[in-house]
Structure 1
Amino acid sequence: MIYDHRTYCCRPGTIKKHLALYAEFGFPAQRRILGEPVIYAQVETGDVNSFVHIWAYEDAADRAARRAQMAADPEWQAYLKKSAEAGYLVSQTNKILMPVPLEA
């Protein structure tokens, strides 16, 4: 299992608008292809203009296949266009996380 951890920062005062846009136009397509996120959360302290989401994949090949499917999806492409036109996002940071096998 691998986890794709993504942090997005919005322009101050626009995070609610961005999340509403995503909820209406992005999440349905993304969820249809990627499944349910492990977490989708808004930052409460620190950079309050940020939100984080984490998606689980079987492995790198599974992630690549599902991300390619999403990139080719017309509904997802329409959302990306709307998001770019809105201009709410400032930055994005992605991290691939690997579970650590700890033994008790």
Structure 2
Amino acid sequence: MIYEERNYSFAPANFRPFLTLFEAEGLPLVRGHLGHLVAYFTAETGQLNTAVHIWGFEDLVDRDRRRTALWNDPQWIAFSAKVLPWIVGMENRLLKPTGFSPLH
């Protein structure tokens, strides 16, 4: 397994509207394509107004296949057009669990 950590930062006025819209419209779409949502967080310290989500994939090929399908979905593209202007920062990391990790 590999895990993808994605962090999106927003202007304060757009953060709560993003969370509301993502839960209602975006989450069903992205879950349908990416599958295994490990966690979804909001930051309480550090860079505020940040959404942190972690997705699990079998391997890099699985991740690439799923993300390609997501970005070929017209509904996802329409949703993204609504929220991409609200994003002021993005960070992405691919993580590999150690042999002793509970997520191994």
TM-score calculated relative to the size of structure 1: 0.89
1:1-104 alignment runs, 5 A limit: 1-84=1-84, 87-102=85-100
Question: Are the equivalent residues in 1 in contact too, given 2:9–2:49 (CA < 8 A)?
Answer: yes
Matched residue type, 2:89: S
Report how far residue 35 of structure 1 moved.
1.7
- Cα deviation 1:6-47 (Å, max 9, x = unaligned): 111001232101111211221110011112410001111222
Report how far residue 102 of structure 1 moved.
3.9
Runs of 4+ residues over 2 Å off in structure 1: none
> Gaps (5+ residues) in structure 1?
none
Higher alpha-carbon deviation: 45-54 or 59-68: 45-54
% identical aligned pairs: 38
Matched residue type, 1:100: T
For these two proteins, the number of residue pairs brought into alignment is 101
Question: Are the equivalent residues in 1 in contact too, given 2:9–2:89 (CA < 8 A)?
Answer: yes
Higher alpha-carbon deviation: 19-28 or 59-68: 19-28
Matched residue type, 1:18: F
Report how far residue 60 of structure 1 moved.
0.3
Report how far residue 3 of structure 1 moved.
0.3
Q: Secondary structure at the match of 1:52?
A: strand
> Gaps (5+ residues) in structure 2?
none
Alpha-carbon separation, structure 2, partners of 1:9 and 1:40: 14
CA RMSD, Structure 1 to Structure 2 (Å): 1.5
Higher alpha-carbon deviation: 7-16 or 61-70: 7-16
